[in-house]
C-alpha cells in the first residue's frame, strides 16, 4: 500500500451552516435543534445542520403539493424545464471546488474524486435537459376512421428523494434532474452524514430561478424525517438509494398508500475471469473496482470468481497493484482511497474479514486498520481474502469496504451458478477475449448491468438499476425519466359515430 503524505490544505475556518429549504425560504428548525458532522478523516466539525422533525417535513411536503397543483412547474413546457436544468448545470460547474471540499470532508473520499463527481454530475443535468425537450407520448390512429387514441406521459406528482452518504451529490443528480424534467415537485432528505452539498445545490436551484416549493430540502435523520417522507399520503413516489434493509422498510410503509417506490439498493458484484482474459487489464480493473470510494460503493467489485488455472497468477497481480494504490489524506490530490465513513462502519468491515479468516479463508494482503500521520480518522488497509467458500458471509453479504473476496471455478456453468446464487443482482463483469463467452455470460447473469472487459463505466444515456434485492426501477437514460411519469390514455371518438346502446322500445314504470 502506498501511503500518501498528509498535505497542508486549508480547512474551512468555521463549519458550513446548513438549513432547510421549504417553499423557497431557508429556515432553521422550529426548535432550533442542530446536528454536527465530524470529518471521518480529519476529526473536526465541518458542518452544522438544522435538525428537522415532523413539522418541517410536513411543511415541505405541503409546499411541494401546492407547487405541483399550482402548475407553474408541472405544466411548464419542455423548453422551460430544459433551459432551467441547463442553467443549473452551468452553476454546478462554476461551484465545483467549494462543493468538492465539503463532499470530501464529510464523506472521507479523495478530493480529486469529489471534484470529478461534482463536475461530472453536470452532464446528468444536461442529459435530463435534453429529455425534457424530447418527452412525448404515443398515438394510435389504426383503431378505425371514427376513433383516435393518444397516450400521454404526465408527471407522477410529489416525489420524496432520499439519498445516501457514499455518493451524496452524484446520486442526487441521478434522481432530481430527471424528476424535474418530468415536471414533478420534490422533497429531498440527504444523509445526516453528508448533508452539505445537497444544501449547496439548493442554493444553486434558487439562484437559477426555480419556483418556490418545486424543490424542498429537509435535513435530519431517518426518524422522523425519512419515515414521514415515505409514508405521507400527499407523496406520490419515493426514490431511495441505500441499504436493502432500509429499502424494504420504505416499501412496507409506502404500501399503505400504494405510492410508487424506486429503489437502488445493495450489491455483491462479481467479476468472472476466464483463462483467456487479459490478466493485466483484469487485475487493474479489479483493483479499481474494489478500492474505488474505499469500497463504500453499491457497485463495488467486491468478489471475483476466477478460473482455477489462473487464480494464483491473477491474485498475485491484484496484490501487487494493491500495494501501489495511494491510500491516505483525502485532501491530497494524489490520494486514490480516503477514510472510512465512521468508526462503526470500520468495525463492521473488520468483523467480516476476521470472521472469514476464522472460517478458513486466508489473507493475501491487509486485513487491518491503518493510521496516517497527522490524521485521527478511520482508515482500513487494502485487503485481499483468498480460499473463500460460497457459504461465507464475506462472499454473500455487502462488506462495503476495501475488501476483495476471491472464489474459483472450473466451468461456465459453475461460474454462472456462483454469480446468480446471491440475493443481490446489481452488476456483474466478465473477462474473456472470446466475444461468445462474454455474450453467453451476459445473457445468463442475473444483474442489472453486465460489463465485459471493463468495470464501472457509466453514461447518463445508459439505464442503471438492479435485479432481485438490489432494487427496483431504473435511473439514468430514458428509463430513468420514465420512473417519474404516469401514463394516461385518452380515447376520442370522431364525429357523431357512437352507436346507441339502448335499442328497445319497452318503457319501465
Integer-rounded Cα Rg, in Å, for the chain is 25
Dihedral sign, Cα of residue 307, residue 310, residue 315, residue 317: negative
According to DSSP, the residues that pair with 294 across neighbouring strands are none
Positions annotated as catalytic residues are 264
Burial class (CB in 10 A: 0-12, 13-18, 19+), 295: buried
The whole model's pTM is what? 0.96
pLDDT for the residue 4: 62
CA neighbor of 460 nearest in space, from 477, 480, 473: 477
pLDDT for the residue 86: 98
Element (H, E) at 280: helix 279-291
Residue 280 to residue 207: CA distance in whole angstroms: 48
pLDDT for the residue 7: 55
Residue 110 to residue 75: CA distance in whole angstroms: 41
Q: Which three cell numbers stand for residue 69?
A: 397543483
Residue 470 to residue 386: CA distance in whole angstroms: 25
Burial class (CB in 10 A: 0-12, 13-18, 19+), 496: exposed
Write down how long the chain is: 509
pLDDT for the residue 506: 78
Half-sphere exposure of 118 (CA within 13 A, CB side): 27
Residue 280 to residue 107: CA distance in whole angstroms: 31
CA neighbor of 487 nearest in space, from 128, 135, 77, 80: 135
Q: What is the DSSP string of 103-150?
A: HHHHH---HHHHHHHHHHHHHHHHHHHHHHHH---EEE--S-TTEEEE
pLDDT for the residue 505: 75
Query: How crowded is residue 160: how many other Cβ atoms within 10 Å of its Cβ?
Result: 30
pLDDT for the residue 295: 98
Residue 114 to residue 430: CA distance in whole angstroms: 28
Residue 256 to residue 55: CA distance in whole angstroms: 21
Per-residue pLDDT of the chain (509 residues; tens, 9 = 90+): 666 655 546 788 899 999 999 999 999 999 999 999 999 999 999 999 999 999 999 999 999 999 999 999 999 999 999 999 999 999 999 999 999 999 999 999 999 999 999 999 999 999 999 999 999 999 999 999 999 999 999 999 999 999 999 999 999 999 999 999 999 999 999 999 999 999 999 999 999 999 999 999 999 999 999 999 999 999 999 999 999 999 999 999 999 999 999 999 999 999 999 999 999 999 999 999 999 999 999 999 999 999 999 999 999 999 999 999 999 999 999 999 999 999 999 999 999 999 999 999 999 999 999 999 989 999 999 999 999 999 999 999 999 999 999 999 999 999 999 999 999 999 999 999 999 999 999 999 999 999 999 999 999 999 999 999 999 999 999 999 999 999 999 999 999 999 999 987 777 76
Q: How far is CA 423 from the centre of its chain?
A: 19
Q: Which three cell numbers stand for residue 38?
A: 465530524
pLDDT for the residue 508: 77
Q: DSSP character for 173?
A: H
Q: Which three cell numbers stand for residue 173?
A: 443528480
Cβ proximity of 153 and 486 under 8 Å = yes
CA neighbor of 445 nearest in space, from 272, 273, 275, 307: 272
**pLDDT digit string (tens) for 461-492?**
999 999 999 999 999 999 999 999 999 999 99
Amino acid at each position: 500500500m502506498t501511503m500518501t503524505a498528509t498535505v497542508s490544505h486549508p480547512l474551512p475556518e468555521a463549519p458550513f451552516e446548513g438549513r432547510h429549504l421549504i417553499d423557497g425560504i431557508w429556515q432553521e428548525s422550529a426548535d432550533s435543534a442542530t446536528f454536527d458532522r465530524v470529518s471521518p478523516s480529519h476529526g473536526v466539525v465541518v458542518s452544522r445542520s438544522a435538525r428537522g422533525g415532523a413539522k418541517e417535513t410536513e411543511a415541505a411536503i405541503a409546499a411541494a403539493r401546492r407547487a405541483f397543483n399550482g402548475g407553474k412547474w408541472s405544466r411548464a413546457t419542455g423548453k422551460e424545464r430544459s433551459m432551467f436544468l441547463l442553467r443549473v448545470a452551468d452553476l454546478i460547474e462554476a461551484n465545483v471546488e467549494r462543493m468538492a471540499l465539503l463532499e470530501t470532508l464529510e464523506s472521507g473520499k479523495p478530493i480529486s474524486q469529489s471534484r470529478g463527481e461534482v463536475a461530472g454530475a453536470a452532464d446528468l443535468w444536461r442529459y435530463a435537459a435534453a429529455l425534457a425537450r424530447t418527452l412525448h407520448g404515443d398515438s394510435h390512429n389504426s383503431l378505425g376512421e371514427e376513433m383516435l387514441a393518444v397516450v400521454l406521459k404526465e408527471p407522477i406528482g410529489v416525489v420524496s428523494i432520499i439519498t445516501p452518504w457514499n455518493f451524496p451529490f452524484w446520486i442526487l443528480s441521478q434522481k432530481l434532474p430527471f424528476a424535474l424534467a418530468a415536471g414533478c415537485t420534490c422533497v429531498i432528505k440527504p444523509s445526516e452524514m453528508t448533508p452539505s452539498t445537497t444544501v449547496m445545490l439548493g442554493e444553486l436551484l434558487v439562484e437559477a430561478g426555480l419556483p418556490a416549493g418545486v424543490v424542498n430540502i429537509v435535513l435530519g435523520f431517518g426518524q422522523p424525517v425519512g419515515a414521514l417522507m415515505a409514508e405521507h399520503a400527499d407523496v406520490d413516489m419515493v426514490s431511495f438509494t441505500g441499504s436493502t434493509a432500509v429499502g424494504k422498510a420504505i416499501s412496507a410503509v409506502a404500501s399503505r398508500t400504494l405510492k410508487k417506490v424506486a429503489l437502488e439498493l445493495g450489491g455483491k458484484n462479481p467479476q468472472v475471469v476466464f483463462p483467456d482474459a487479459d490478466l493485466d487489464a483484469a487485475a487493474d480493473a479489479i483493483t479499481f473496482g474494489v478500492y474505488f470510494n474505499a469500497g463504500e460503493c453499491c457497485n463495488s467489485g467486491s468478489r471475483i470468481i476466477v478460473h482455477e488455472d489462473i487464480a494464483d497468477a491473477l491474485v498475485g497481480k491484484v496484490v501487487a497493484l494493491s500495494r501501489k494504490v495511494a491510500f491516505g489524506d483525502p485532501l491530497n490530490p494524489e490520494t486514490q482511497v480516503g477514510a472510512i465513513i465512521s468508526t462503526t462502519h470500520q468495525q463492521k468491515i473488520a468483523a467480516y474479514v476476521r470472521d472469514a479468516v476464522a472460517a478458513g479463508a486466508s489473507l493475501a494482503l491487509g486485513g487491518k486498520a491503518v493510521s496516517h500521520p497527522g490524521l485521527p480518522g478511520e482508515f482500513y488497509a487494502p485487503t485481499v481474502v483468498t480460499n473463500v467458500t460460497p457459504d461465507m458471509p464475506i462472499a454473500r453479504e455487502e462488506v462495503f469496504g476495501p475488501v476483495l473476496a476471491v472464489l474459483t471455478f472450473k466451468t461456465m456453468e459453475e461460474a454462472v451458478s456462483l454469480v446468480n446464487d446471491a440475493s443481490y443482482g446489481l452488476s456483474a463483469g466478465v473477462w474473456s477475449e472470446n466475444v461468445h463467452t462474454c455474450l453467453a455470460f451476459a445473457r445468463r447473469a442475473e444483474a442489472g448491468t453486465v460489463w465485459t472487459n471493463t468495470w464501472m463505466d457509466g453514461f447518463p444515456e445508459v439505464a442503471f438499476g438492479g435485479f432481485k434485492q438490489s432494487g427496483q426501477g431504473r435511473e439514468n437514460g430514458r428509463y430513468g425519466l420514465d420512473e417519474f411519469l404516469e401514463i394516461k390514455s385518452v380515447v376520442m371518438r370522431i364525429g357523431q359515430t357512437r352507436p346507441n346502446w339502448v335499442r328497445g322500445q319497452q318503457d319501465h314504470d
